Structure 1
Amino acid sequence: MVNGLRLPAEFRARIEDLRAGRAVPVAPRHAATVVVLRDHPGLGVQAFMLRRVSSMAFAPGAYVFPGGSVDPRDGEAQPAWSGPGPAEWGKAFGADDKLARELVCAAVRETFEETLVLLAGPTGESVVDDTRGDDWEADRQALLDRSLSFAGFLERRGLVLRSDLLRPWTHWITPAVEPKRYDTRFFVAAMPAGQRARDVSTEADRVAWVRPAEAVERAHKGEWPMLPPTIATLAELAAFDTVADVLAAPREIVVHEPTAEIIDGEAYLVLPEDAAHHYPQG
């Protein structure tokens, strides 16, 4: 049994080209992903997920968590900040201070852009209670078209970024065989009281609050397409009874980077050992 999944036949030529030096891996872009969690009174811990539209170049039709690429401006300014600073985040994620600031800002910005969930507040001890309304939507659109930086958005509204509401969870790098690659740090966060998560992203056509174990089961049945990092993360979260338990869990961040190999003439994506058992084997 192979620790991974079979790739389409066209990947074999790409693997051979990389091995022979006829092709060079694409440099991965830094990105941040946030697993927004809530406690459901009858169902336990639930995660917020979006289904990417079928026209997307990367992972079309896949169920994912909110997130996206770092905007270089995320690291250039220093917004009002409450909680662990860039140095602490850098230690957790193996990043310098500038990249760590970019990653935290990208995590909060992308989550707001895609779901209207905003991990920021008027003070370092408070959080915005409602992000619905035309004025919030205008700011969201300005962030999307990059006419407004995230630091500028926070400053305009007099908000403090709440890095203390985030926790580091894991780190995945897209395999070298892929034409689009991301170096993604995963965060977890509790859904702020009073806010409502909804799909406001043009990149998604469906959203769901789902128990992690149910999402993994749907993936294994082929009902919900998911990438290996998503399944592995959900499988880990399924072990917790409450969001507080998730946030309190000690984490040693390990970098996972699957590899593409030719096994018995077939192209396979081989997963890291500690994640492989979460994914249907090929």
Structure 2
Amino acid sequence: MLVRDGAAGPEVFLQRRAGAMEFAAGMTAFPGGRVDSTDAEIEIGWAGPPPAWWGQRYGVSESRAKALVCAAVRETFEECGVLLAGPTADTVVADTTGYRGERQRIESREVTLAQFLAQEKLVLRADLLRPWARWITPTVERRRYDTHFFVAVLPSGQRADGATSETDLVQWSTPAAALSTWKTGEHVLLPPTWSQLTSLGAYSSTEQILAADPPIDPIQPEFGEVDGKKLLKFPDNMRYFAELPDASRLVGSKGMRDTDPSLLGGSRPDGGSDAAR
């Protein structure tokens, strides 16, 4: 989750996932993606908390934590051109436009992140990231992910863009504005994205966000019964469903297409109503 200070408070960089994506197509989300087998190859040029510290925060092994941090840096660079690395342990690249070719090569897997950083003599700035949350896809989904959310402030001089095939719209928005337009049905948020926007909205500056130390307990939504109705259960779920404008749009997305909309708190395709509000 890339954030920056704006006139109305912290803003977060959002992307609408392209319709051809296999998971969460059409959803508004943050930059990110899968961990690659090469993500843990970095042996030198690491600034900030060591992998063991990240492993303790996320509850994973040291090697897994290292791959997660590197994947966060790589995916942020691939998807929006922001590079959390610099010539030294206390500097960061001020302009990434000169790395446009390398960015494309990393995205096409012609070169690894480790190879790129070594070639350019850059240090990975793990200290610019903060651990934020961990969500695991419900068991009813065909595609399941163990997602680790990070937060980082946009480095001075750098610009986040939408130059990737994985998105068709990008924007900076305050969490409050993003949640407000979600309520009116202008875009679609899955529960994990909604939850992170809600949590970020509690802070009045990026300095406060970086200083926060939220507990990271794995959240895996499950279906259960509430007042005789089936409902996806996760922290603050009743608020999410009360404000959800159109559950059928979630079901129409790849990644939620096997789910009965009544379980999400909306109407069935047959016109029946199983609202959970």
TM-score, with structure 2 as normaliser:
0.84
SS at match of 2:124: strand
Work out whether 1:170 is the aligned partner of 2:133.
yes
SS at match of 2:56: helix
From 214, 221, 244, the counterpart of 1:258:
221
**8 A contact 1:80–1:161 mirrored in 2:** yes
Q: Is the 8 A contact 1:169 1:188 kept in 2?
A: yes
Q: Is the 8 A contact 1:220 1:279 kept in 2?
A: no
Secondary structure of residue in 2 paired with 1:101: helix
CA distance in 2, matches of 1:176, 1:99: 22
1:106 aligns with 2:71: yes
Superposed CA RMSD in Å reads: 1.6
- State the AA in 2 paired with 1:96: S
CA gap of 1:102–1:278, structure 2 versus 1, over 3 A, is farther
- Decide whether aligned partners of structure 1 residues 215 and 278 sit closer, same or farther in structure 2, where only a CA change above 3 A counts: farther
Residue of structure 2 equivalent to 1:184 = 147
| Residue 76 of structure 1: how far off its partner (Å) | 3.3
SS of alignment partner, residue 193 of structure 1: coil
Per-residue CA distance 1:82-133 (angstroms, 9 max, x = gap): 0001000000001111100000000000000000000000000000000114
Contact 1:261 1:267 in 2 (8 A): yes
The answer for the alignment partner of 1:94 in structure 2 is: 59
What is the distance in 2 between the residues matched to 1:278 and 1:47? 21
Equivalent residue for 2:233, pick from 263, 266, 271: 271
In 2: Cα distance, 1:84 partner to 1:271 partner: 34
1:192 aligned partner, one-letter code: P
Is 2:14 aligned against 1:49? Answer: yes
Which SS does the other structure have where 1:47 is aligned? strand
Please say if residues 224 and 233 of structure 2, whose CA atoms lie closer than 8 Å, have aligned partners that are also in contact: no
d(CA) in 2 for partners of 1:117, 1:66 = 10
For the 8 Å contact 1:124–1:160, the answer to whether it is kept is: yes
Which amino acid in 2 is paired with 1:222?
G
- Relative to 1, partners in 2 of residues 1:278 and 1:262: Cα closer, same or farther, differing over 3 Å? closer
In structure 2, distance between residues paired with 1:278 and 1:187: 24
SS of equivalent residue, structure 2 residue 236? helix
Q: AA paired with 1:271? A: K
Pairwise CA distance, 1:264: 8.6
Deviations 1:135-158 (A, max 9, x none): x12111111121211111100110
Deviations 1:36-66 (A, max 9, x none): 00001x2210000000111211111111000
Amino acid at match of 1:39: D
- In structure 2, give the amino acid aligned to 1:38: R
- 1:197 matched residue in structure 2: 160
Counterpart residue identity of residue 37, structure 1: V
Residues 217 and 79 (structure 1 numbering): CA distance in 2 closer, same or farther, change over 3 Å?
farther
Letter in 1 for 2:100: E
Counterpart in the other structure of 1:119 = 84
Evaluate the alpha carbon distance shift between residue 147 and residue 155 of structure 1 in structure 2; reply closer, same or farther with a 3 A threshold: same
State the structure with bigger RCO (CA 8 A, min sep 6), 1 or 2.
1
Specify whether residues 278 and 210 from structure 1 end up closer, same or farther in structure 2 by C-alpha distance, changes over 3 A only.
farther
**Structure 2 spans left out of the alignment, 5+ residues:** 243-264, 266-277
Q: How many residues align?
A: 243
**Per-residue CA shift, 1:6-51, capped at 9, x if unaligned?**
xxxxxxxxxxxxxxxxxxxxxxxxxxxxx100001x2210000000
- Is 1:151 the counterpart of 2:117? The answer is no
SS of residue in 2 equivalent to 1:74: coil
* Cα 1:183–1:246 shift into 2, 3 Å: same
Give the 3-state SS of the residue equivalent to 1:280 in structure 2: helix
Q: Which residue of 2 aligns with 1:11?
A: none
Q: Structure 1 or 2: larger strand share?
A: 1
Change (3 A) 1:148 1:216: same
